[in-house]
Amino acid sequence: MRLEDLGWDASFSSAFEPFERAGLRPGRISRTDRRSFRVLTGQDELHAEVSGKLRYHTPEWPVTGDWVVLRGDSPVIDTVLPRKTELSRKTAGEQTGKQVLAANVDVLFLVTGLDRDFNPRRIERWLLLAGECGAQPVIVLNKADLHPDPDWAAGEVRQLAPAVPVTVVSALAEQGAAELIRHVRHGETAALVGSSGVGKSTIVNWLLERDAQLTQEVRKDDGRGRHTTTSRELIPMPGGWLLMDTPGLRELQLWAGEDSLDQTFEDVANFAAMCRFRDCRHEGEPGCAVTEAVSGGDLDEARLGSYRKLQRELAYLARRQDEWAAAEEKRRWKRIHKAMRQGGKRL
Ligand code: GDP
Ligand code: ZN
């Protein structure tokens, strides 16, 4: 396995340059356990400790998914290379204010269940979290077997953020895996987040089982077991991507303690529905019911503020998604041209 298969890219490589000149080597954290770490180097999976200069639970403290610089034979983690993305939890009452849970996640599957807990407003909040993290969001509607019309539900969700991919699966019926995995490219890392009970563990087990079957086929002859993979939190999958599954991510909840999710912006949305113009931005347009509600004291100005923040985030995500789509289209044409040069082989 090469470093590239683990997600190593030009930006990590250039950040690593000075360390390379000093004879050090890079690795990627596959599991953390208080002060001890497991690191994938491409050749091995090593055990490492942190150097004395890293302070416990600061943002520089290594987390699963981090690329780190290793020093010595029984290696010590010297430095954490700058992260591409960072999933963190706001911590109450602490000076630092955030605890980093995972690093360098490229694709974030936002899982919700299509059962009676189905709640598009909650998906908006998960989208916001993906925006803060920097990962590409993919909305996963699980438990399709429990919904009379999953495609209708998917359509509803698409309206929230038209440019974010929505995919429908049933982990229980083992349906939709290929469609799900399609969103992760070679060397990319994907993680699942979502409220408790939506089926994250079931999806992970399902993907791993599928992985085990594929792996058995691939490795029929070399007799190597999969004994180490089960305890990993960062798992190289046979399709060439990495699945991240840490206890912290499974338990990640939306802004616990902040306003309850069930009432998320429904108040603002109800007023907005009464604005004269359908595309009202509530910034002083005539006939704006939202501004009216604020000046009449029926709507808290701070609520309007966070509503706007969400809208901005969703617009930002839509723009990002457009860029991704354009890049994907470019790659697709590159593949097509390459195949044409190779003589019309089927893609
Ligand atoms: P997590 O808390 O997000 O990890 O959720 P779990 O994976 O523990 O799943 C919660 C419950 O939902 C379990 O009882 C699962 O069997 C059930 N579940 C998960 N996926 C599906 C699905 O696709 N269809 C149905 N009907 N149930 C599911
Ligand atoms: Zn308005």
Separation between Cα atoms, residue 97 and residue 34, nearest integer Å = 20
Report pLDDT for 264.
Answer: 58
- The pTM of the full predicted model, rounded to 2 decimals, is 0.74
Q: pLDDT digit string (tens) for 211-240?
A: 766 655 544 444 444 444 457 899 998 889
Which ligand lies nearest to the CA atom of residue 285 in the structure? 2
Q: Which of 141, 202, 251, 254 to mutate to test the pocket of ligand 1 (most atoms within 8 A of CB)?
A: 202
Ligand 2 ion local residues (Cβ < 5 A) = 275, 280, 282, 288, 290
Determine the pLDDT at residue 287.
94
> Long-range contact list for 228-236, CB < 8 A, 24+ apart?
228/45, 231/31, 232/30, 232/31, 232/38, 233/30, 233/31, 233/32, 233/64, 234/28, 234/29, 234/30, 234/31, 234/40, 234/64, 234/65, 234/189, 235/30, 235/208, 235/211, 236/1, 236/5, 236/6, 236/40
Q: Strand, helix or coil at 213?
A: helix
pLDDT digits (tens, 9 = 90+) for 131-161: 778 899 999 999 999 999 999 999 988 887 7
Q: How far is 101 from 108, CA to CA, in rounded Å?
A: 13
Q: How close is the Cα of 292 to the center of ligand 1, in Å? A: 44
> Given pLDDT bands bounded at 50, 70 and 90, which one contains residue 90?
low
CB 299 within 8 A of CB 266: no
- Residue with the smallest CA separation from ligand 1 atom 9 is 199
From the list 343, 264, 278, 257, the residue with the least C-alpha distance to 307 is 264
Written as six digits, the tokens of 263 are 């009432």
DSSP 13-57: HHHHHHHHHTT-EEEEEEEEETTEEEEE-SS-EEEEEE-TTSPTT
Contact 179, 169 (CB under 8 A): yes
